[in-house]
Structure 1
Amino acid sequence: MRLRYFAVSLLCLFAVNAGAQAGKNAQAGRSPELRVDYTKETLPNGLNVIYHVDHSTPVAAVLLWYNVGSKMEQPGRTGFAHLFEHMMFQGSKNVGKGQHFALLEAAGGRGGADINGTTNWDRTNYFEQLPSNQLELALWLEADRMGTLLEAMDQAKLDNQREVVKNERRQSVDNQPYGTWPEKMEEALFPEGHPYHHDVIGSMADLSAASLTDVENFFKTYYAPNNAVLVVAGDIDVPQAKQFVRKYFGPIPRGPKVPALASMRLPEIVGHQQRYVVLDSQVPAPAIYVGYRVPPAKDRRAPVVTLLGNVIGGGRSSRLYDALVRRQQVATNVGGGEFGLADGADALVFTATGKPGSNPDSLEVALLAELAGASSFTQGELDRARASERFAFVNGLQTTGGLGGRADRLAEGWTYFHDPNYVNTVLRDYDRVSLADLNALAHERLVPANRVVLIYVPPKKTASPPTTRVP
């Protein structure tokens, strides 16, 4: 289950000493055992703190997950969670604008890979990874903006970042070939009024309407210690790390009770098939996107969803690649996977891109025909998909911080399941998926009444007028 990752020390999990046991487990179809150890405490102000120790490299990671994403936004206020992610880097009471990155980079961190923030439908996170002797700096910076951001916020900063986000939307959605497909897929799979109906980046109109008061209220509601989890990981001394955490985060007051989330409940299937043709002047070739409503990431069947997407559309060993690229040669690229939505329902999407100048109807027919037969998988297909997901998950755990690293997975477990030990159950849950589980989910959900088809079509080329030679 990706939980929005399309993508270890662990006592040298795959070191020589473990090699023999790993081989036995692989032959039995089971994952090698791994464990990410941690300790946890909760401060009086409600901040949940998780500590994970790894002395293999002199690096420490600080990561904060706030339990707020676009699903918490109100009608007419879409894009606020993502806009606020940008505002968090505009300075706080004791940190000037642009200084968050500057101070961390001067201390040895790398902007982007080690220092960043991301927003999705279900959460917003901020992370730093830097030399372990700079841990106190990272904790102070995160605490300062959690506790004092509003003291440095003004209209000029809001106006500036609103335009930055608008430009980001232009680049990644409006002016990007095929860029609107996730937004259109959400709108079709989730009814109007549902928290997943709109995309994370929000609409231009709502971004333009955002006022300073709106942003301040959003911060006061969601950016409080009792609505967050802090992970301190890596080459740390836990008693010292606890002193730093209590020193900087302890004085921040508890926030108000977070408003109840709107109902996420949905019927298991959409109930009717939908098909939309999108004329996109920027696309070089036709492309088909086929989406289905499936169980969400918190559901016990989430590992089945992940493996189903992998079997059908994951890489060059998948069914779609073999059928559409290798044998029929009607596509140049295929893919498949879930969005990773946590509550109510998720979206499982399969894609195929045709050749420039090819017929989109033929591509659509071929893709739908392959999906229609996707309910009789083999054990070999399941084993391949399981091995692929095992590798992707464990490979992410090689890092302490950043997206998909150990700190991130610990925060993910607490935010979605109130259990940091979630990280230690993922491989086990993949192992428990049977061929019957895979076939049953495909038979139940990959049906026309639960299907959204988006056909992206490039503009027709007009014939150039004949050139007249001037004597």
Structure 2
Amino acid sequence: MGHTPPPSSAQQAPTGGLSATEHRLPNGLRVVLSEDHQTPVAAVCLWYDVGSRHEVEGRTGLAHLFEHLMFQGSAQVAGNGHFELVQGAGGSLNGTTSFERTNYFETMPAHELELALWLEADRMGSLLTALDEESMENQRDVVKNERRQRYDNVPYGTAFERLTAMAYPEGHPYHHTPIGSMADLDAASLEDARAFFRTYYAPSNAVLSVVGDIDPEQTLAWVEKYFGTIPSHSGKQPPRDGSLPEVIGAEQRQLIEEDVPSRALMAAYRLPADGTRAGDAADLALTVLGGGESSRLHNRLVRHDRTAVAAGFGMLRLAGAPSLGWLDVKASGGAEIAEIESAVDEELRRFAEEGPTPEEMERAQAQLEREWLDQLATVGGRADELCRYAVLFGDPQLALTATARVLAVTAEEVREVAAARLRPDNRAVLVYEPTEAPAADAEATAHDQEETAQ
């Protein structure tokens, strides 16, 4: 028998009439609910406050490996049963790992919501009863093969890993990426995995959000029934300090000679942390400079100079360390990287001096506003954002006011952050030189910044 659900502590939020209520169980589990009766579906999202930044030297990749192990069965769900039950009920599901969290999510027909909650509670409370050497070895091989397919054996596949290692120094909690190294994956033992679960997979280290065509009272009753009896436990250490100087101090550079389709210039700049006004300003700066075909770098390099086939500048938002500005330019056949880099630096200097035009500012704010609204418009997207703001910033309501914060940033703030951060002494640079003649029709290679269990 569960206890009486605690009262709601939420306030109404302004974005598009969306709102969320917050609750906390006695065992520490935070619960966020958001009603949306437009379609008969419900999304369940569970964020655990553990990612690759919590790992220690010699055991990188353990957070991502454990994400896979969470789909290997629990006390009442054998083998691949989690996938089978959700998909058999007409739902979809997955999980991902990042530097700062691990999440699991299902989108279900509304009348199957109870099933999704029961499944998530069963593996939170009883995974260790099913975790054995066979499942450990099976998923170790799956993750190693994922690394080969997505990192080691694809063009430009290790770029993100290389740039991260340069932007965050040795010993920094973000120095390594969530995929981990082959050696550390081989070294991980069953007891390592069990200790990892006992440390991080506790109700008090998680946020559960449920969004969609729900009855809040009934939903809370199910949450109480299935999660309320899971014992809380402690022992988790706070993540290591991720703070760094605002500027790297000197450009870092690597030349990579590989079998890639074309020459490429990639760079990572340290930017303000997520959750700050300066972080929003940096996102707007990168949107003006490299966010799509109307951006300055695309117009300069692809349309005008014709030295590149693709040019983009995006932001990896991070809460516990400086965010990263990610520059990615794929050269046209025969174009020299020095020419491309000179043009990039010229555009960044001009932007640092003049800032965005009123038209550029309006377009960038509209673009980011649309992206936020698109995310919040789906039940799965909103559930994920509510969890993100609850885990990383302590307040899920911030997800519903993000667009207002972006629209409040001024053009001068955008110029200032660009002048302070988009400098040659604040970047790590990779130059790719093909071992074969560069192809004129090379296409940009997309890079995932999260590890996704398939």
Q: Same fold (TM over 0.5)?
A: yes
Select 2:364's aligned residue among 380, 385, 394: 385
- Show the counterpart of 2:7: none
Task: Using structure 2 for the length normalisation, give the TM-score.
Answer: 0.91
Q: How does 1:232-271 map to 2 (within 5 A)?
A: 232-271=210-249
User: What is the SS of the residue equivalent to 2:100?
Assistant: coil
Deviations 1:140-188 (CA, angstroms, capped at 9, x unpaired): 0000000000000001111110111011111111111111111111111
The answer to whether residue 48 in structure 2 is matched with residue 72 in structure 1 is no
Tell me the percent identity.
Answer: 47
- Residues 308 and 335, structure 2, Cα contact 8 Å, conserved in 1: no
Q: Measure, in 2, the Cα distance between the counterparts of 1:442 and 1:40.
A: 37
The answer to whether residue 431 in structure 2 is matched with residue 449 in structure 1 is no
User: What is the SS of the residue equivalent to 1:356?
Assistant: coil
Structure 1 segments of 4 or more deviating over 4 A? none
Superposition deviation, residue 315 in structure 1: 0.5
Q: Which amino acid aligns with 1:439?
A: R
Superposition deviation, residue 461 in structure 1: 4.8
Q: Measure, in 2, the Cα distance between the counterparts of 1:169 and 1:35.
A: 42
- Show the counterpart of 1:309: 286
- Show the counterpart of 1:348: 325
- Residues 352 and 367, structure 1, Cα contact 8 Å, conserved in 2: no
Q: Measure, in 2, the Cα distance between the counterparts of 1:57 and 1:354.
A: 45
- Show the counterpart of 1:156: 134
Q: Which amino acid aligns with 2:72?
A: Q
Q: Measure, in 1, the Cα distance between the counterparts of 2:433 and 2:232.
A: 52
User: What is the SS of the residue equivalent to 2:230?
Assistant: coil
Quick one: structure 1 residues 187 and 204, their matched pair in 2 at CA, closer, same or farther if it must change by over 3 Å? same
- Residues 107 and 134, structure 1, Cα contact 8 Å, conserved in 2: yes
Q: How does 1:128-167 map to 2 (within 5 A)?
A: 128-167=106-145
Q: Which amino acid aligns with 2:415?
A: N
- Show the counterpart of 1:468: none
Superposition deviation, residue 359 in structure 1: 2.7
Q: Which moved more, 1:52-61 or 1:115-124?
A: 52-61
Q: Which amino acid aligns with 1:228?
A: A
Q: Which moved more, 1:325-334 or 1:348-357?
A: 348-357
Structure 2 unaligned segments of length 5 or more: list them: 1-13, 439-454
Structure 1 unaligned segments of length 5 or more: list them: 1-31, 463-471
Q: Which moved more, 1:365-374 or 1:43-52?
A: 365-374
The answer to whether residue 353 in structure 2 is matched with residue 371 in structure 1 is no
- Residues 15 and 401, structure 2, Cα contact 8 Å, conserved in 1: no
- Show the counterpart of 1:291: 268
Superposition deviation, residue 96 in structure 1: 0.9
Q: Measure, in 2, the Cα distance between the counterparts of 1:70 and 1:173.
A: 17
Select 2:76's aligned residue among 94, 99, 103: 94
Superposition deviation, residue 325 in structure 1: 0.6
Q: Measure, in 1, the Cα distance between the counterparts of 2:278 and 2:285.
A: 11
Q: Measure, in 1, the Cα distance between the counterparts of 2:377 and 2:411.
A: 30
Q: Which amino acid aligns with 1:90?
A: Q
The answer to whether residue 157 in structure 2 is matched with residue 175 in structure 1 is no
Q: Measure, in 2, the Cα distance between the counterparts of 1:33 and 1:241.
A: 23
Q: Measure, in 2, the Cα distance between the counterparts of 1:249 and 1:33.
A: 30
Q: Measure, in 1, the Cα distance between the counterparts of 2:58 and 2:378.
A: 39
Q: Which amino acid aligns with 1:142?
A: E
Q: Which moved more, 1:86-95 or 1:407-416?
A: 407-416
Superposition deviation, residue 305 in structure 1: 1.5
- Show the counterpart of 1:116: 94
- Residues 36 and 406, structure 1, Cα contact 8 Å, conserved in 2: no
Superposition deviation, residue 300 in structure 1: 2.9
- Show the counterpart of 1:84: 66
Q: Measure, in 1, the Cα distance between the counterparts of 2:305 and 2:332.
A: 12
- Residues 59 and 129, structure 1, Cα contact 8 Å, conserved in 2: yes
Superposition deviation, residue 369 in structure 1: 2.8
User: What is the SS of the residue equivalent to 1:115?
Assistant: strand
Superposition deviation, residue 456 in structure 1: 0.9
Q: Measure, in 1, the Cα distance between the counterparts of 2:105 and 2:270.
A: 32
- Show the counterpart of 2:171: 193
User: What is the SS of the residue equivalent to 1:292?
Assistant: strand
Q: Which amino acid aligns with 1:362?
A: E
Superposition deviation, residue 135 in structure 1: 0.9
- Residues 92 and 152, structure 1, Cα contact 8 Å, conserved in 2: yes
Deviations 1:7-53 (CA, angstroms, capped at 9, x unpaired): xxxxxxxxxxxxxxxxxxxxxxxxx9524211111111000011111
Select 2:195's aligned residue among 217, 228, 251: 217
Task: Using structure 1 for the length normalisation, give the TM-score.
Answer: 0.88
Select 1:44's aligned residue among 26, 31, 43: 26
- Residues 90 and 96, structure 1, Cα contact 8 Å, conserved in 2: yes
- Show the counterpart of 2:383: 407
Q: Measure, in 2, the Cα distance between the counterparts of 1:448 and 1:358.
A: 21
- Residues 331 and 353, structure 1, Cα contact 8 Å, conserved in 2: yes
Q: Which amino acid aligns with 1:102?
A: E
Superposition deviation, residue 367 in structure 1: 2.5
Superposition deviation, residue 424 in structure 1: 1.9
CA RMSD of aligned residues (A): 1.5
Q: Which moved more, 1:295-304 or 1:203-212?
A: 295-304
Q: Which amino acid aligns with 2:210?
A: V
Q: Measure, in 2, the Cα distance between the counterparts of 1:416 and 1:200.
A: 17
Indicate the structure (1 or 2) with the bigger Cα radius of gyration: 1
Q: Which amino acid aligns with 1:199?
A: T
- Residues 298 and 343, structure 1, Cα contact 8 Å, conserved in 2: no
